[in-house]
A and B are shown apart, each in its own frame.
Chain A
Amino acid sequence: MSGTLVGRWLDSDFIYSFRKSWIAMGSALVVFVVLVGAVFAHQLAPHNPFDLASLDLMDSFKPPAFAADGDLSFPLGTDDQGRDILSGIMYGTRISLLVAVLAIMFSLIVGLSVGLVAGYLGGAVDAVLMRIVDVQLTFPAILIALLVDGVVRAVVPQNMQERLQLYVIVFAIGISLWPQFARTVRGSTMIERNRDYVMAARIIGLSGPRIVLTHILPNVLGPIFVIATLNLGIAIIAEATLSFLGVGLPPTEPSLGTLIRIGNNFLFSGEWWITIFPGVTLALMVLAINLLGDWLRDALNPRLR
């Protein structure tokens, strides 16, 4: 096998360290299961929680299937409207992941651009941009996201709000996370800028943007993936927190956070499953992503081998 590209990859240190770490493999399994459940929610979910015709109020508040009066067709029970909790979680995870991934991509693009510009140009531009980064890093990301969300809400007209809310959340979380990317990229750009190959590119007369995009960019991407993985967990929690606070995604597009918030209303009347199962899903997913990110950081760091 070793010889083909796939064979060489399977033989690499990276895969070796993955197979040595049961934590990494376990986390990858959890992430895989959650991912499949979320991406193929429409095909795999036992019910469609958005199909009003299929809902039956007679099914409401059914406890999980393992409880005494549970119903096998609703494995994790139902909520007040008779919606299946498991299906709700699958659809909700899909939305949570979508928002988190989009937000990370957004903050990555902003952070990457700012970092490249600041690192390559240096001087006053660098000083100003990094000062902004410093100021923003003084505040917790969730607070920034909350305030940005609030301001954008005030700007967006009332009748558009529900439709645009997903993008508002993506924007708010993205804005709250970009400084870390910017700082890392700027650091590695400053190192790359003085390398001989950049000098060579300059001598043959390539333009600044061209050098940055085609020569420096590929060389600063490595650490970014680790930060992106670690920040994905933060973004998922941020989205869930905003939705839980009631300023995130509306009940028409329920994410895990929205489900937990809705379920929270029934905590006192004993219907714990409505809020606990989405909560456990969220916690497991974030834990697995964090462990995977930690492992990735160590595995990609040659000094730790």
Chain B
Amino acid sequence: MFAFIVSRILQAIPVLLIVGFISFAMFAFVGDPVTVMLGQDYTEAQRVALVAQLGLDKPFFVQYGNFVWRALHGDFGMSYRLARPVGGLIAERLPATLELALSAALLAVAIGVPMGVFTGIRRNAVLSRLFMLFSLVGVSLPTFLIGILLILFFAVQLGWLPSFGRGEVVQFQHWSTGFLTSSGRRALILPAITLGLFQMTLILRLVRSEMLEVMRSDYIKFARARGISQRSIHFRHALGNTLVPVITIVGLQLGGLIAFSIVTETVFQWPGMGLLLVQSIGVADIPVMSAYLLLIALVFVTINLAVDLLYFTVDPRLRSGGKR
């Protein structure tokens, strides 16, 4: 298992280096940070000083080295738009995005898995057909449209839930959380549903097809013959064996959730990283974009690694060293 982990980490490094290089190339060659930062009036001496301060007069590889070194220390330069350090900007907004993505993922699993199990066991029930119809709609509706529809019904028409922002947050050191206040939790509901709906339908379809497959297998028939209760067959014997692909998809989609939160955050004006990115793209704020790209790459690589490790806990065949 140790060798497996090491080989996976080694595989992840080139990915990070490539993304890091793209990110640096964006930072170094796209746009002209000097003219953006200086504004309209400047003297030649000011320009030269800024170029030297940013290290833009150094050779290419020195600049790349400096970039990596600074990035490793959490220094991604200054935002052109806000004239503040990018690292701080992102750190400020990270908790909002993570809380949103996590809530969405939990919601998707908590509702998607039972729905999938149900439609897998009673595939011809009316409710099953309704669930499948729901999943089709969930896949075809763009995220932002779901958000708009939810706002229209629950915020505008019914007035039950807030339509934007995070509500009141509680600050712990560098982490701000909306879980602890009632307005924070209420503000979370609609964005979490919007973000989680697509994953929910994905999980539903996946669990359903896996359950259909597993329920046909011999060991389920055998378990029936042994007189084991229906509940135990469905949830212990069958569901347990559908978990490997489900964990893969849920894990990989967690990264997708963070990426798709860009859209959800814009619809609900949720003060997270995604909203920051969209605002930065609108004005071509390169340092923010390149830092975001690096961070997302890191998140994806970490998630892939975590998913691989989870296999070991779920699939005993891997632990004994056998081949899959």
Contacts and interface: CB of A to CB of B under 8 A. Distances in A.
Contact count band on A: 35 or more
A241 interface: yes
Interface of A is mostly: helix
Interface stretch (A80-88, A134-142, A194-202, A221-229): A134-142
Contacts of B280: 150
Contacts of A272: 152, 156
Nearest to B304: A138
A260 B145 contact: yes
B139 interface: yes
A149 B26 CA distance: 12
A140 B289 contact: no
B50 interface: no
The interface centre, meaning the residue of B18, B145, B289 with most chain A CB atoms within 10 A of its CB, is: B145
Interface string A274-287: 01100100110011
A240 B144 CA distance: 9
B148 A260 contact: yes
A267 B152 contact: yes
A283 B144 CA distance: 11
Interface string B184-201: 000000000000000000
Given A233-B140, A241-B143, A150 B148 contact: no
Interface residues of B, number: 44
Nearest to B293: A147
Contacts of A135: 15, 18-19
A122 to B, nearest CB: 21
A160 interface: no
B24 to A, nearest CB: 13
Contact of B151 (A147, A260, A267): A267
Given A135-B15, A241-B143, A275 B262 contact: no
Contacts of B18: 135
A104 B19 CA distance: 25
B305 interface: no
A146 interface: yes
Interface string B250-289: 0000011001101100110000000001101110101001
A244 B278 CA distance: 11
A260 to B, nearest CB: 7
Nearest to A286: B140
B180 to A, nearest CB: 28
Interface of B: 14-15, 18-19, 26, 30-31, 136-137, 139-145, 148-149, 151-152, 156, 163, 255-256, 259-260, 262-263, 266-267, 277-278, 280-282, 284, 286, 289, 293, 296-297, 300-301, 304
22 contacts: A139-B259, A143-B259, A143-B262, A146-B277, A149-B281, A150-B280, A150-B284, A150-B289, A151-B286, A233-B140, A237-B142, A240-B144, A241-B142, A241-B263, A244-B142, A246-B266, A267-B156, A268-B156, A268-B163, A276-B152, A283-B145, A286-B140
